[in-house]
Structure 1
Amino acid sequence: MLAIKTLSPKPVIFRRTVRLMADQFEISVVGSNPQWADERIDDAVAEINRVEKLLSTFSDDSTINEINRNAGLKAVKADPEIFRLIDRSVQISALTYGAFDITYYTPDKEDSDIDNTPNKTAIKATISRVNYQNVVLDAAAQTVFLNEKGMRIGFGANCKGYAADRARYILQMNGVSSGVINAGGDLLTWGAQPDHEPWTIATADPSQRSQPFSNINISNMAVATSVNSEKFTAVINQKKVNAVNTKKGFSVSGIKSVSIISPSAELADSMATPVMSIGINAGLYLINQLNQMACIIIDDHERVYSSKDISTLN
């Protein structure tokens, strides 16, 4: 009797689009079993939801809220995961000279009387001191202290990137060797496509997306893009930001978009807007000093600038 040899199904891409963290995520995994793929995507969704709850400022019992409530009063012991995220955020703030900053100011109730001139003066003085340099971290005790009363921290600028990194980790730990996470237009990839070709993107001017100027290999990399919303308010699947010079307070008119390529979605997410705010020359200089990071900048005159390492990613 002849033995019948059955062929294993060819791997394909399984995708699911879901609303998470107030944005649209698309999670794609390469596999040959639909049920297995569906379960793995469930794992990724659960992890993203966990990160959102962990970093929430809406839950009264969250660590972030406890840190914020005790600003100017006392240090708060933080969950190790949160402590490491704050530590990395402060390091990125230092790297970008404060262009990236997770701190902000919210006046307390006793300072909320806008007709009280002394209070208004005090608020202005406090705001001038609210920045990453007033986040005091104690690595040994795992505590976080915000020096100024009314000072707050939040992760709106890098939470989606961090969630994507965590979802990738969970998927890899559960046997997903190839996939893509699209977090509101920012991409994170690992492995290869079903035909063993690398994952690539066609980079284009935001106003001429049908005319790409470069195909870039982004396998095992993340890509985050910030777009100057004053120039393009209808760009789809891209972060829209009002690019403001943080030192002088006026809009940056020279840059149309910035794309950052990095092994970490959290880092790419954190760096895209700061590079836009500090300008083309300073932005390229900064990226060129960093390992395993590249950027593409498009200015108002459709000129394309890229960092020195962009060719090594192709």
Structure 2
Amino acid sequence: MTIKRFKRKCKLMGCSFELGVVMASEREANILLDEGVGEIQRIEALLSEFQEDSTISKINENSGGNPIAAEPEVLALLERSIKISKLSKGYFDITMGPLKKLYQFKNQTFKFPEKKTISRTLRKIGYHFLRLDTGNGTAQLYQKDMRISLAAIGKGYAADAVRKKWKKHNLVGGYIDASGDLTAFGKDENDEVWKIGISNPDDRNQSLFYVPLQDAAVATSGDYEQYFMHNGVRYSHNINPKTGLPVSGVKSVSVFSPSAELSDALATAVYAMGLEKGISFLNQLPQTHGIVINAENKVFFTKQLQYEPIPA
């Protein structure tokens, strides 16, 4: 039988997913694709801050109040999020939602919030105010008006979960593409290793080079169309959780690691860190690589990253 790629597209967790499996049987492929979509839907119901009955929404609504019962799966993800916050010295922080509400990026005339407003809001965020009790199965935000958002790690977690389910089956390869964040394993229908194109930050339809992706994941954090100019400086919609200010000086960060969840979170952290600190940070992590494109479109690589130039 001929080996083929079978695909499914869906809109979940606030982004566009494309799921793909490589195998001979279309019937079996559709079963796996259904399983993948179902798994992402299940995880979204747990983690979404926009669904009132999700565990995360319940924790948010009770900020400053009593602990809230949470599934072991959710507690484990929150625990790993806190570990990444500590590892990145606070540049990744799932409690920084209130900062984003200060900015109205969609307005034609952009205005920075007042310094005292930013300072007051910074006191409402901090991963150390999220208390987990795994023995009792609860999570608690200690300060009122705090909010958890798993937007920078949730879709990576979902991609890892789908990959884990699929790898139990006999298929040649597969991938989960969450709006350009790619998780892949095995090989494609041509018996070749999967490759990811790193986009030009000024033209997402143009790839600068390819990076092979063998049982690994890549996540990209960038401003692309989501930026604004203020006094001649280009600012991203991404906020630095330490300063409360939009990030400038970096257009794009791509992080490669064995885990989509980790790549997702680290790309966010490195984007806020900036070029030099971010590259240095990634170089210290095992099995982790990165590409940073600065405001002048200069490309910087971590050590030992393999990539292929685009043929002329």
TM over 0.5: yes
Shift of the 215–85 alpha-carbon distance from structure 1 to 2, 3 Å rule, reads same
One-letter amino acid of the counterpart of residue 89, structure 2: Y
Structure 1 equivalent of residue 152 of structure 2: 157
Matched residues in 2 for 1:28 and 1:274: separation? 28
TM-score, normalised with respect to structure 1: 0.81
Structure 2 equivalent of residue 128 of structure 1: 123
Q: 3-state DSSP class of the match of 1:153?
A: coil
8 Å contact from structure 1 (residues 218, 313) kept in 2: no
One-letter amino acid of the counterpart of residue 17, structure 2: F
Matched residues in 2 for 1:43 and 1:75: separation? 33
Structure 2 equivalent of residue 201 of structure 1: 196
1:39 aligns with 2:34: no
Structure 2 equivalent of residue 282 of structure 1: 277
Q: 3-state DSSP class of the match of 2:144?
A: coil
Matched residues in 2 for 1:208 and 1:57: separation? 31
8 Å contact from structure 2 (residues 217, 263) kept in 1: yes
Structure 2 equivalent of residue 113 of structure 1: none
Which one of 253, 259, 262 corresponds to residue 264 of structure 1? 259
Structure 1 equivalent of residue 22 of structure 2: 30
How far off its partner does 1:104 sit? 4.2
Shift of the 215–103 alpha-carbon distance from structure 1 to 2, 3 Å rule, reads same
Structure 2 equivalent of residue 12 of structure 1: 4
Matched residues in 1 for 2:87 and 2:183: separation? 23
1:255 aligns with 2:247: no
How far off its partner does 1:256 sit? 1.4
Structure 2 equivalent of residue 85 of structure 1: 77
- Specify the structure having the higher radius of gyration (Cα): 1
How far off its partner does 1:221 sit? 0.9
Matched residues in 2 for 1:185 and 1:81: separation? 25
8 Å contact from structure 1 (residues 288, 309) kept in 2: no
How far off its partner does 1:133 sit? 0.8
Q: Which of the pair is proportionally richer in strand?
A: 2
TM-score, normalised with respect to structure 2: 0.82
Which one of 214, 219, 224 corresponds to residue 224 of structure 1? 219
Matched residues in 2 for 1:93 and 1:154: separation? 13
8 Å contact from structure 2 (residues 182, 196) kept in 1: no
Q: How many residues align?
A: 286
8 Å contact from structure 1 (residues 229, 242) kept in 2: no
Q: 3-state DSSP class of the match of 1:145?
A: strand
Identity in percent: 38
Structure 2, gaps ≥5 residues long: 99-115, 229-234
Give CA-to-partner distance per residue, 1:72-95, whole Å, 9 cap, x none. 222223210000010011111112
Which one of 27, 46, 49 corresponds to residue 54 of structure 1? 46
Matches within 5 A, 1:47-126: 47-104=39-96, 125=120
Structure 1 equivalent of residue 296 of structure 2: 301
How far off its partner does 1:220 sit? 0.7
Matched residues in 2 for 1:48 and 1:231: separation? 26
CA RMSD of aligned residues (A): 2.8
